[in-house]
């Protein structure tokens, strides 16, 4: 992993379509942007922020979330998430993440990711089948 500067930012955008509704993904009964989909968008933004610093064979995995979903977004609107690196501790990265729709902020919080070697990570994970 190359050096990642504090303040490094990226964003991700998604249309709030049928596939991203709480009533579709099972996180509620209403046709609004689902909290798990907002979290996924925040994680996408975090991944995008560090992608340029990853070496060949590296990826990152999410390890912690502390998120508030503070406003509903209706079907048909666009949602946007911004992730900013706030701490680097070796291979562990901490982000401040915020999500918006066109009317304003809909959620925010903290997200942590750890940079791993993809092959080794999957080898260790798949070894669980033999236990």
Per-domain boundaries in the chain: 9-130
With cut-offs at 50, 70 and 90, classify the pLDDT of residue 56. Answer: very high
Question: In the prediction, which pLDDT does 98 show?
Answer: 98
- The mean pLDDT of the chain is 97
DSSP output for 12-25:
EEEE--GGGBHHHH
- Average confidence (pLDDT) over 19-35: 98
Superfamily grouping for domain 9-130: Hotdog Thioesterase (3.10.129.10)
76-121 pLDDT per residue, tens: 999 999 999 999 999 999 999 999 999 999 999 999 999 999 999 9
Query: What is the reported pLDDT for 131?
Result: 83
Q: CA 50, CA 3: separation in Å to the nearest integer?
A: 10
Which residues are tagged catalytic?
A: 35, 43, 69
Q: What is the pTM of this model?
A: 0.95
Q: Which pLDDT does position 1 carry in this prediction? A: 86
Q: What integer pLDDT is reported at residue 58 of this predicted model?
A: 97
Do 63 and 112 touch, CB atoms closer than 8 A?
yes
Contact 38, 81 (CB under 8 A): yes
């Amino acid at each position: 992993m190359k050096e990642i500067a504090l303040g490094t930012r990226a964003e991700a955008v998604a249309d709030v379509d049928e596939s991203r509704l709480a009533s579709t993904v099972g996180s509620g009964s209403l046709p609004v942007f689902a909290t798990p989909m907002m979290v996924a968008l925040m994680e996408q933004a975090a991944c995008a922020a560090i992608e340029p610093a990853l070496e060949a064979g590296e990826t990152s995995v999410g390890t912690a979330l502390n998120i508030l979903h503070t406003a509903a977004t209706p079907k048909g609107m666009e949602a946007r998430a911004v992730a900013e690196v706030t701490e680097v501790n070796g291979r562990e990265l901490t982000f401040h993440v915020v999500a918006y729709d066109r009317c304003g902020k809909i959620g925010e919080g903290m997200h942590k990711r750890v940079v791993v070697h993809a092959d080794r990570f999957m080898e260790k994970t798949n070894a669980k089948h033999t236990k």
